[in-house]
Amino acid sequence: MFCAIVAGSVPAFKVVDVPEGVGFLDTRPVFKGHVLVVPRRHVVTLPDLPIADLPGYFGLVQRVVTAVPAALGSQGTFVAINNVVSQSVAHLHTHVVPRTKGDGLKGFFWPRTRYASPEEAADYAAKIASELG
């Protein structure tokens, strides 16, 4: 579906269409003005995006993040990417959702937890760090 939007064969309310990617309104927005930013190249998840494409793609995301509050009068944005779990379309996309204090989104996305101890937190940190090299 997103590849068809990028190609122009499926209509969308585009906000930007540049070589680095395309931004368009989500058809089921969290709040009006919720934009999806997708890379022009078809990749499913963020790890699939070639490293060479990262600066251009995230530069585009940054431009949208800057434009949304300026255009809509919101105080900020919520920016999110799902990889596999909760990814409703198998094409990398970054959500840029306008946010205003008191908009009701507080606590909406994830339940919070705590580490049982500083040692447990250190263990999790070490596992992730070892994968990063």
CATH code (residue 56): 3.30.428.10
Task: Look at 13-17, 78-82, 104-108, 117-121 and tell me which has the smallest mean pLDDT.
Answer: 104-108
Identify which has the larger pLDDT, 124 or 103.
103
Task: Look at 44-48, 90-94, 127-131 and tell me which has the smallest mean pLDDT.
Answer: 127-131
Tokens encoding 34: 């919720």
**CA–CA separation, 108 vs 119, rounded Å?**
29
Give the number of domains in the chain. Answer: 1
DSSP character at residue 95: E
- Mean pLDDT of all residues in the chain? 90
Determine the structural domain holding residue 20 and report its residue range.
2-132
pTM over 0.85: yes
Model confidence at 17, pLDDT cuts 50, 70, 90, reads: very high
pLDDT of residue 108: 57
Q: Minimal CA–CA distance to 39: which of 6, 16, 9, 1?
A: 6
The pair phi, psi for residue 59, each rounded to 5°, is -65, -40
